[in-house]
Amino acid sequence: MLREIRPAILVLVLLTAITGLVYPLAITGIAGVIFPRQAQGSLIEKDGKVIGSALIGQEFKEDKYFHGRPSATLAPDPNDSTKTVPAPYNAANSGGSNLGPTSKALADRLKDDVEKLKSENPNAPVPVDLVTTSASGLDPDISSEAALFQVPRVAKARGISEDAVRELVTQNTQGRFAGVLGEPRVNVLALNLALDGAGAK
């Protein structure tokens, strides 16, 4: 019986070492050489300090900044570990909400968000990605329509022309992947950094 078990144990140990140790280390090393920035998390620095990642959204609340998609991520309640509290863009707890189309809480939130956005820009339809959460809750991008929708609010808060802000949106809009896949999108953190870099207050 030991004769039959020994090869199985040897194969298990060998495959565990290859797939659990050798392969991940080799891929990590290759990625670090070929794509060093991406392998380190696509981190974005300002004045030598890491301020975020191009891959993970951040919450911007001030009117002078573009806002990203709503995030449904949660974190443990610091006052009661049996409960959770909203923690937008919490990378340690990626996920969307479990609220469905019949949820009153979801319908109420959507209604409130749409009304708030319409008050900011009553002349344009509200883009869907400004009121719906992504599946991960970490989406760093918004559609170009969602960015353009926010131009009047950002321009007013910064005291600059809408045309200048619109031009920054255009400059920071990324096209479809390979010209075919996906939709044009804007990285919110990159756009806000461009705004600050343009000298807009």
Share of the chain above pLDDT 90, in %: 58
- Torsion angles phi and psi, residue 161, rounded to 5: -75, 150
Q: pLDDT class for 22, splitting at 50, 70, 90? A: very high
Query: Half-sphere exposure (CA, 13 Å, Cβ side) for 175?
Result: 3
pTM attached to this predicted model: 0.79
Whole-angstrom distance, CA of residue 184 vs CA of residue 194: 18
Instruction: Write the pLDDT tens digit of every residue in 127-146.
Output: 999 999 988 989 999 999 99
E strand spans, the chain: 43-46, 49-53, 74-77, 80-86, 141-143, 173-174, 185-187
Query: Half-sphere exposure (CA, 13 Å, Cβ side) for 3?
Result: 0
Instruction: Write the pLDDT tens digit of every residue in 170-192.
Output: 999 998 888 888 889 999 999 99
pLDDT reading at 200 higher than 60: no
Instruction: Write the pLDDT tens digit of every residue in 78-98.
Output: 888 888 888 888 888 888 788
**Burial degree of 4 (CB within 10 A; 0-12, 13-18, 19+):** exposed
- Residue 182 C-alpha from the chain's centroid: 16
Q: What share of the chain is helix, strand, coil (3-state, %, to 5)?
A: 45, 15, 35
pLDDT reading at 201 higher than 70: no
Instruction: Write the pLDDT tens digit of every residue in 144-162.
Output: 999 999 999 999 999 999 9
Q: In what order do the strands lie in the sheet with 173-174?
A: 141-143, 185-187, 173-174
